[in-house]
Amino acid sequence: MFGPVIDELIDALRCLPGVGPKSAQRMALHLLDKDPRAAGRLSTSIQQAVERVGRCQLCRMLTEASVCEICANKGRQPDLLCVLETPADLFAIEQSGSYRGRYFVLFGHLSPIDGIGPEAIGIDQLLQRLSDENIKELILATNLTVEGEATAHYIGSHAQALGVGVSRIAHGVPLGGELEYVDGGTLSHAFTSRTLI
Amino acid sequence: MNTENEKAYVLHTRQYRESSQLVDLFSRDFGRLRTVAKGARGKRKSGGHQLQAFTPLLLSWRGKGELKNLTAVEASGNNAALHGEMLYIGLYLNELLVRLLPEHVAHESLFDRYSDLIAQLSMSSDPEPLLRRFELSLLEEIGYGLDMATELATDRPIEAGEHYYFTHDQGFIRFDAVSNQCKEGCFAGEHLLAIAADDYCSLAVRRCAKRLLRSALQAQLGERPLLSRQLFHQAKVPVNKAQDD
């Protein structure tokens, strides 16, 4: 409609999550008309990021160095490792500020129907790390979905066979939650994993 | 077309767009179908967090096309959570159903069996006979049931003491010692009769049933292997290792 170059830009912007044709058009017109300098900056930073960013050798997190900042940080507890499904989970835990160990990011979960097995999410690399390093506790912080549970169980049983202590994050009533409004599944989890005080 | 409070299980979910999910369902009266749960991820208010496999649900959906819109999710009855090894078995069952059940065909009795099986799995310590029974009824439901009482070609009854070949198109054929066939891969008549009589006490019968059903299911599944079965075997490795140590 606007010519091949603009149409291509609009089409390219649609690859972003939550961006449909209308938003893509608005973004493209904004970049070209209102803020061409920002457009230049955006294009260089996307190009740089795509060229330079890879995976951390140790935890598979996205990073531009060979080892990410968290893995390279000496202040972090070296014998504590937390397994996560996505980088977004890592950000969420980092923001909570409650954890000072290191991470391992799977970028997915076991899902036989989708054809995703242990190799596809780096479990062999994780197990290699467990046998090479002196890790005392492996914290399984995969999602509380069927696939997340299966992933946690798979990693947990293999890690135990290697003699590593394994724990699973607690699940139950959320902060500020009223029992009346909590669903049955969550409540039964909360009861089975109750703690002595 | 609106459907309200239909008994169903989630077979599989996958992320769809920003906050939605594509949900494969096994419903009692409409069989297997695919729905989209808009805004199901993240917001707890929409009930999307309840869209988990192995949980008995009451679901409502609407829509004319192939892909229906999920409108309401309610838990129904007890949540029989599967843990550990049973979780892999559950994933295997769901993979079987997704691969073998045709869409939009009701299988009420199979649904009831599935529902019972999930409840039993959460309590059972010996899932093998339960699984075999379900596999047999699944084959029967999709039109490939096994007749373990008679030879299809000759109409002779299957007898203990004899050996039988299994072929996907002709059922069981008696092993003929005179011809040059190899006896390997045959099934013993007494084992087949035990399976037909639903008697899984002996280990040999269990082995026979496992081998037979694997071969019968594989014929329907085609070339692509079942990943959940592979996963089950890979998951078992550390247990053996620990025993050896």
Residue B192 and residue B103: Cα distance in Å, rounded?
A: 32
Contact check, Cβ <8 Å, A161/B52? no
* C-alpha Rg value of chain A to the nearest Å: 22
* CB-CB contact of A78 with A102 (8 Å): yes
Residue A195 is classified by DSSP as -
What is the pLDDT at residue B233?
83
Choose the closest CB to A146 out of B87, B92, B234.
B87
Contact check, Cβ <8 Å, B84/A153? yes
Contact check, Cβ <8 Å, B14/A188? no
- Is the full-model pTM beyond 0.90? no
Residue A180 is classified by DSSP as G
Instruction: Tell whether the model's pLDDT for residue B72 goes beyond 70.
Output: yes
Confidence of residue B183 (pLDDT cuts 50, 70, 90): low
Task: Indicate the average pLDDT of chain B.
Answer: 85
Please tell me if residue B237 touches chain A, with a CB cutoff of 8 Å.
Answer: yes
- Order of strands across the sheet that contains A102-105: A102-105, A80-84, A137-140, A165-168
What is the pLDDT at residue B243?
41
Where are chain B's structural domains? 2-75, 84-143+223-244
Q: Which residues of B touch A188 (CB under 8 A)?
A: 79, 81
In this predicted model, what pLDDT tens digit does every residue of B3-54 receive, in sequence order?
A: 899 999 999 998 887 788 899 999 999 999 999 988 777 655 566 778 888 9
Choose the closest CB to B231 out of A112, A183, A188.
A112
* Spans in chain A with pLDDT lower than 50: none
Please tell me if residue B49 touches chain A, with a CB cutoff of 8 Å.
Answer: yes
Identify which of A192, A74, A176, A181 has the alpha carbon closest to the alpha carbon of residue A144. A192
Confidence of residue B84 (pLDDT cuts 50, 70, 90): confident
Confidence of residue B226 (pLDDT cuts 50, 70, 90): confident
Q: Is B84-143+223-244 the same fold as B2-75?
A: no
What is the pLDDT at residue A38?
92
Choice between B46 and B152, residue whose per-residue pLDDT is larger: B152
Query: Among the CATH numbers 2.60.120.560, 1.10.3720.10, 2.40.50.140, 1.20.810.10, which is that of B2-75?
Result: 2.40.50.140
Choose the closest CB to A112 out of B79, B81, B227.
B227
Q: B84-143+223-244 maps to which CATH number?
A: 1.20.1440.120
